[in-house]
Amino acid sequence: FQLKYIYQTTTLAAAGSNTYPQATTEWDDIPRYIGGINNAVDSCVTSSYTIAEGSSDRDADLQSAIKEACPNVIKKWPSVGYKWPAGMPRSLYTNTGIFKVTDSMGNTTEYIHTPVSTGFNTPPPPYPYSPRITQIKVNNKVKMEYSYITDPAPGSFSSGIDYTTFNWPQPQGRLLKSWIGSDEILYGIFAPYITNQNDTEGKTQTSSSGYKAISKVYMTPRYGAFKVSSWDKDVTLEQQFSNRATSIVNILGGTTTELGYFCENVNSITVNGMLTGSAAGFVNCNLSNFKTCNQATSMTDAKGYVTDYIYDPVTGLPSTVTLPADRNNVRPQTRYQYQPYYAYYKKAGSASVTRADTPVYLISRESKCQKTSASGNGCTDPNDEIVTLYEYGPQDGTANNLFLRGVIVTATNSKGSRESRRTCYAYDDYGNQIGVTKPKADLSACL
């Protein structure tokens, strides 16, 4: 699939003073239209395509923009149009601006931005005003409105700031409430005022309602938040750049959950002092194991039951999952196999179908035992094995998006013989599943 971007040249705002963001070359071209194309059906060049600012508006017929950029396309493809305020980005800091999005169905969403005071009067950044979304409209009907507030007495600002000792300012342009009609939500977000990284208190501001509000956030300049208190939970975070949650106190339920980590993964969960889950087998990553590292080779639940995992070295996905023993002391096991498949599609505007340069690995086979133990890649009783095969269409040069075309399940029936059942799936050119053929159709292959 291809996302075709059509850019619009923009008239850069004059440089002027430093009061507002400088217009830079990054804003010379901004996305104006984007089309989604199935390259197994149609094709478009991958080179950049740009239209001039103020050129004829194609929002009423997005396909005309796609057709202009991709003259060889035949089908009508989903597209979206974006209309930006003139003089971006500076204009949003000085005047109310509207960012408009038009979808393939002709629906238009407008995001109205309004400059909100930041409490700063001495640029460069932070600027005296900053844009905030104050209203959202869909097909000219108001869907949501927002208001903001800037807390007084910001801290001092200077360039070359030392962020470990900086006196953080009060929030600028923080969200105060959102509403639609008479239905409104108030936000009581914290207002941090921390003097150094060793401080453990945060100034707070509580919502007038309190319900579902964040009531208090504790911060340090170096690592940010280290504790968040809301109406129903207290969450404690590590004082490290990862900021991982280490403790969650459920105020309503009266439970405390503690999380342990290894290799950035949760490897233990303790609730009210009782271990409810743990994982083991994590190894540090290197160039030879990056597909399988940071994954647990076993997980233990609160009752001590263990599930074991083995991973495919090529894909990093599970190749074997062995569950805890059942009442018959049999450990159910499921095995997975993966194969490389190539998509076939029209590249870079070409009319002919060619194979992708690289394959993708997809699951091709799944097997498990119903009642007996696993033995090697099968079961101690071969007739006990259930095998599922997955089909993704031909690999013979025919256009192919590698959608799942068929699923074949083979098992032993009530008469003691092996029997296969095939389910087939159909898709339209846009990737939507439009049909399912059940096993009773007794198809020998999926189209």
| 3-state secondary structure at position 162 | coil
Among 117-126, 131-140, 294-303, where is mean pLDDT lowest?
A: 117-126
Stretch 139-161: mean pLDDT, rounded? 72
Split at pLDDT 50, 70, 90, the class of 150 is: confident
Split at pLDDT 50, 70, 90, the class of 425 is: very high
Indicate the residue type of 297: T
Task: Tell me the C-alpha distance between 407 and 390, whole Å.
Answer: 5
How many Cβ atoms from other residues are within 10 Å of residue 171's Cβ? Answer: 20
Return the DSSP state at 97.
E
| Structure tokens given for 256 | 């405390």
Q: Report pTM.
A: 0.80
Q: Phi and psi for 66 in degrees, rounded to 5?
A: -65, -40
Residues in the chain: 447
Among 152-161, 282-291, 317-326, 338-347, where is mean pLDDT lowest?
A: 152-161
- Decide if pLDDT at 182 tops 50: yes
Please provide the DSSP assignment of 250-293 as one string.
ETTTTEEEEEEEETTEEEEEEETTEEEEEEE------TTTTTTT
The percent of residues above 70 in pLDDT, for the chain, comes to 83
Q: Phi and psi for 89 in degrees, rounded to 5?
A: -90, -10
- Decide if pLDDT at 206 tops 70: no
Please provide the DSSP assignment of 394-443 as one string.
--SSS-B-----EEEEEEE-TTSSEEEEEEEEEE-TTS-EEEEE-GGG--
pLDDT digits over 84-105, tens only?
887 777 788 888 999 999 999 9
Half-sphere exposure of residue 10, counting CA atoms within 13 Å on the CB side? Answer: 24
Q: What is the mean pLDDT of the chain?
A: 84
- Decide if pLDDT at 49 tops 80: yes
Half-sphere exposure of residue 443, counting CA atoms within 13 Å on the CB side? Answer: 17
Among 197-201, 286-290, 376-380, where is mean pLDDT lowest?
A: 197-201
